[in-house]
Amino acid sequence: MKLPRHIPIFLMIKIIPILALTFGLITPSFAEERPPNVIIIFTDDQGYGDVGVYGAEGYETPHLDRMAAEGRQFTQWYASQPVCSASRTGLLSGCYSNRIGINGALGPGSRTGINSDETLLPEVFKSKGYATGMFGKWHLGDHEKFLPTNHGFDEYFGIPYSNDMWPQHPTAKHFPPLPLIQGTERLRSADEHDQRMMTTWLTAKAVDFINRNRETPFFLYVPHPQPHVPLYVSDRFAGTTENGIYGDVISEIDWSVGEILNAVSTNGLDEDTLVIFTCDNGPWLSYGTHAGSTGPLREGKGTSWEGGVREPCIMRWPGQIPAGTVCDTPGMNIDLLPTMAGLIGADLPERKIDGLDIWPVISGEDGAESPHDAYWFYYKQNELQAVMADGWKLVLPHTYRTLDGKETTDDGLPINYTNLKLEEIELYHLDEDIAEASNVAKEHPEMVAELMEHAEAARTELGDKLTKSTGSGNRPAGQLTEEEGQALDLINWPNGKPKR
- 306 near 298, Cβ under 8 Å? yes
How many degrees, rounded to 5, is the angle at CA 196 between CA 193 and CA 198?
Answer: 105
Q: Are strands 218-223 and 37-43 parallel, antiparallel or unpaired?
A: parallel
Distance CA 24, CA 17 (A): 10
Q: How far apart are CA 348 and CA 221, in angstroms?
A: 19
Q: Which of 139, 228, 290, 454 is catalytic?
A: 139
d(CA 130, CA 486): 36
Which amino acid type is present at position 389? A
Burial zone of 340 (CB within 10 Å; 0-12 exposed, 13-18 middle, 19+ buried): buried
196-208: b (≥16 Cβ within 10 Å) or e: bbbbbbbbebbbe
Range list of H helices, 71-120: 84-93
Task: Respond yes or no: is residue 228 known to be catalytic.
Answer: no
Q: Which candidate, 276, 272, 292, places its Cα nearest to that of 284?
A: 292
284 within 8 A of 45, measured Cβ to Cβ: yes
Q: 336 vs 197, 263, 323, 339, CA distance in Å?
A: 30, 23, 20, 5
Q: d(Cα 80, Cα 382) in Å, to the nearest integer?
A: 12
Please, are residues 193 and 203 in contact by the beta-carbon 8 Å criterion? no
Counting every residue written for the chain, the total comes to: 500
Of 43, 14, 72, residue with least CA distance to 272: 14
With a CB cutoff of 8 Å and minimum separation 6, the contacts of 214 are: 10, 13, 14, 267, 268, 269
DSSP 245: H
Nearest one of 21, 30, 40 to 340, comparing CA atoms? 40
Distance CA 159, CA 136 (A): 6
- DSSP class of residue 103 equals -
Known active-site residue 429 = no
Phi, psi of 477 (to 5 degrees): -70, 170
Q: Which of 84, 279, 313, 327 is catalytic?
A: 84
SS3 63: helix
Largest Cα separation within the chain, whole Å, is 74
Distance, CA of 162 to CA of 106 (rounded, Å): 9
Q: What CA–CA distance (Å, rounded) separates 112 from 107?
A: 10
> Rg of the chain over CA atoms, in angstroms?
22
Catalytic positions are 84, 139
